[in-house]
Amino acid sequence: MVKRLLRWTAAAAAAGFAAFGYLYLALPDVRSLRTENPSTTAFMELRAREAEKAGKKPRTVQRWVAYERISPSLKRAVIVAEDAAFFQHEGIDFDELEKSVEDSWRKGTRMRGGSTITQQLAKNLYLSPSRNPIRKVEEFLIARRLEAELSKRRILELYLNVIEWGDGVWGAEAAARTYFQVSAAELGPDQSALLAASIINPRRYSPARPSKFLLRRQELIRQRMGDVEPPASAAPGVPGDPGALP
């Protein structure tokens, strides 16, 4: 009986290792993102398919802007709202993940969010909103690969240009012009906080018609934005360093 159990355990371990190896080898090559901007994403294609299935014409509003042409207020607001430890982790915030697991275990509920900006970028570029465990493993692996190949500055630039900010609205420039009739560079702190607040579910919480919930999130983010500052010891402006945050 013991020998049989050991054989089963060894077989399961071998199968798991093989599956992990297959997943790793099948990951997208992200090195091109160092210098090239993606023309589309998995999420954009998903929304296009959903629109076509509903008999509607797919709508895509996007205008790519360089990192320097995105308001410092928006960068701060998004980091506060989505990933306060962005400049400290390597793609996965294990402290936040541990808290999520503990909360889920204690309350008997599904794990809450907590994906880092890098994980969200991986999901938007290559995956889907599915909570399938295999997809989550892929997200972890792609996030680590993105962190290994790209600077923090580039990851944030990509993220702010591809995330969804409403029906057919993609990226900071499209969001700024759609909701406030200004460029991404001109966004002020309050506008930035409102946009960042809506990332949680931009198809439900629209900056054009902010609910009480969205306004509460905006205020909380606005209060915390002043706390996001580069450490005094960082060399300012170095991509990948906390000092790269304006």
Question: Can you tell me the mean pLDDT for 211-234?
Answer: 78
What is residue 129's predicted lDDT score, i.e. its pLDDT?
A: 86
Check whether 240 has a pLDDT greater than 70: no
Average pLDDT for the chain: 82
Q: State the pLDDT confidence band at 15, using cuts at 50, 70 and 90.
A: very low
The number of beta carbons lying within 10 Å of the beta carbon of residue 149 is 15
The answer for 31, left when phi > 0, alpha when psi is -120 to 50, beta otherwise, is alpha
pLDDT digits (tens, 9 = 90+) for 55-70: 999 999 999 999 999 9
pLDDT digits (tens, 9 = 90+) for 141-162: 999 999 999 999 999 999 999 9
What is residue 98's predicted lDDT score, i.e. its pLDDT?
A: 54
Q: Flag the least confident range among 1-5, 63-67, 90-94, 118-122.
A: 1-5
Q: Flag the least confident range among 5-9, 36-40, 60-64, 123-127.
A: 5-9
The number of beta carbons lying within 10 Å of the beta carbon of residue 46 is 15
What is residue 226's predicted lDDT score, i.e. its pLDDT?
A: 80
Q: State the pLDDT confidence band at 113, using cuts at 50, 70 and 90.
A: low
pLDDT digits (tens, 9 = 90+) for 163-222: 999 999 999 999 999 999 999 999 999 999 999 999 999 999 999 999 999 999 999 999
Contact 83, 75 (CB under 8 A): no
* Residue 233 identity: S
- List, in order of start, the domains of the chain with CATH numbers: 40-228 (1.10.3810.10)
